Structure 1
Amino acid sequence: MGLITAFLDLPLKPARATVWVAERLKEAAEAEYYDPAVVRNELAKVEDAHAAGELTDEQRDDLQRALLDRLVEAQNRTEET
């Protein structure tokens, strides 16, 4: 029975491998996206761009709000694990 199951399961192996790779890529991307150091670095870049006159106050506030939301989500994810 095991040989028949293995034979019938063979065509699905490439699809399963593709799904596995996609899941690992997603995990790596999320880890980088929610990395507190990366978020803090981006906050500093936003502040530098505002100081250089590249961003208005409103643009800076919107970007900072989004980045702070990411930072909070990163802390929540850390607490869950």
Structure 2
Amino acid sequence: MGLVVQLLTLPLSPVRGVVWVLDKVVQQAEREYYDPEPVQARLADLERARDEGRIEADEFDRQEEELLARLEEIRLYQLRQGGMQGGL
């Protein structure tokens, strides 16, 4: 029966290959998007700019708020991912 199923589903092989590749691309994009290191580095750069007087206090506050919100989004995503993996 396995051979018959393989023969009947053979025309779908290219579709399965494309789906697999797209899944890998999405996984990599999510890893990069939800990586906290670039956001933390940007926060450090922002603080350095403030300390050196290259950025005004109100602009620092605005950007810092955005970056901290982004870090919170990343943390919540990682918690959800950990919960989903732990539940399997």
TM range (shorter): 0.5 to 0.7
Identity %: 38
**What root-mean-square deviation, in Å, do the aligned CA atoms of Structure 1 and Structure 2 show?**
2.6
Measured at CA, do residues 18 and 49 of structure 1 come closer, stay the same or move farther in structure 2, by a change above 3 Å? farther
Unaligned runs of 5+ in 2: 83-88
Can you list the C-alpha shifts for 1:15-42, whole angstroms capped at 9, x where unaligned? 1111111111111111111111121123
TM-score calculated relative to the size of structure 2: 0.63
Show structure 1 runs of 5+ residues with no match: none
Q: Which residue of 1 aligns with 2:20?
A: 20
Deviations 1:32-81 (CA, angstroms, capped at 9, x unpaired): 1111112112334556678546xx829x72x5444333211211122220
Report 1:17-56 matches (<5 A): 17-45=17-45, 52=54
